Chain A
Amino acid sequence: MSEPQVHGLLVTHAHLGDAFLDAAARIAGSTEGLTALSNDACSGDMLRDRVQEWLDGLPTGTIAVVFVDLLGGSCSTAAMLACRPRPDVHIATGVNLAMLLEFLASRSTRPAAEVIARLEDRGRRAIVVRSSAAPAGSPS
């Protein structure tokens, strides 16, 4: 039995999703399997419906990841409402470029469960806040 495909949807404020796709393409070369959806001009219900439409359009057996920018924002609320009845859908909040690059690099090369498991770890590991006087990784 072949591994299920993993597809991703970026649901973000304004043009952030398109900007993420552009930046990811410049680093990874391809953003195949990843789509962006903006909340611009969308009511909460409309955004939920658009996420639902994207999910309904996926091939049977697909594993989906919905990336959202801001936990508690309209994008995460719409995603959670749309994805609630779907155990094959995962939601990743606080998306960053490192998380997306991990997704693009691993979605075709690793088992779906491993792809999902690595996203949070990669996203968190990319966040470091340090004084400019102290190199990243040095003791605080």
Chain B
Amino acid sequence: MAIVLVRIDDRLIHGQVSIGWGPTLRPEHIVLLDASVAANPWELELYAAAAPEGASVEALTVEAAASAWAGWEADARRILVLVRSPRTVHALALAGVRLGEVNVGGMHFSAGKREVLPYVFVDDADCEALRALAHDGVRIEARDLPGNPGRDLVRLLD
């Protein structure tokens, strides 16, 4: 079944992912593209405990994920990929990964960011990464939960 969703969510695995998206996506494996979690087994264990029942979890750097991507696309498991930031997704694209669609589920407020949607706040670097992805043909859909309407995020940035 391969990769069922690539999602930008700065909370990684949490209630919306496990309880909100879990029954729709039925992920069997979750990949956290996060260098900090990849370097900290205790943090990985914490996130793994929050995963939907039956889903395994691993954490990788962008470089390692780019190497593994083709294998995931042919994988029999349903794989969910989570990243914290659009800059990580852009780095993935620059590393040679071709993406069709990216879900934006949670980019929360921090200093210097402006609100685009109640669950999406961006700064200039975020906008640059999102626009670059869109320019390369990646559809960027903002949707926090599967039952809510999706929005073309790049059109909302202007």
A and B, one complex?
A: yes
Contacts of B110 in A (CB 8 A): 43, 46
Among listed A17-25, A76-84, A127-135, interface-contacting one: A76-84
B:108-124 near A, CB below 8 Å: 108-110, 118, 121
- Taking the closest CB of chain B, its distance from the CB of A66, in whole angstroms, is 14
How far is B49's CA from A76's CA once the two chains are assembled, in angstroms? 11
Q: For the side of the interface on A, what is the size category?
A: 10 to 19
Partner of A44, one of B12, B51, B109: B12
Q: Please tell me the number of chain B residues within 8 Å of chain A, measured between CB atoms.
A: 22
Residue contact B14 to A74, C-beta cutoff 8 Å: yes
How far is B46's CA from A84's CA once the two chains are assembled, in angstroms? 11
Contacts of B12 in A (CB 8 A): 44, 77
How far is B49's CA from A73's CA once the two chains are assembled, in angstroms? 10
Contacts of A84 in B (CB 8 A): 42
Q: Is A105 an interface residue (CB 8 A)?
A: no
Partner of B15, one of A43, A45, A73, A81: A73
Closest to A44 in B: B11
Contacts of A71 in B (CB 8 A): 49-50
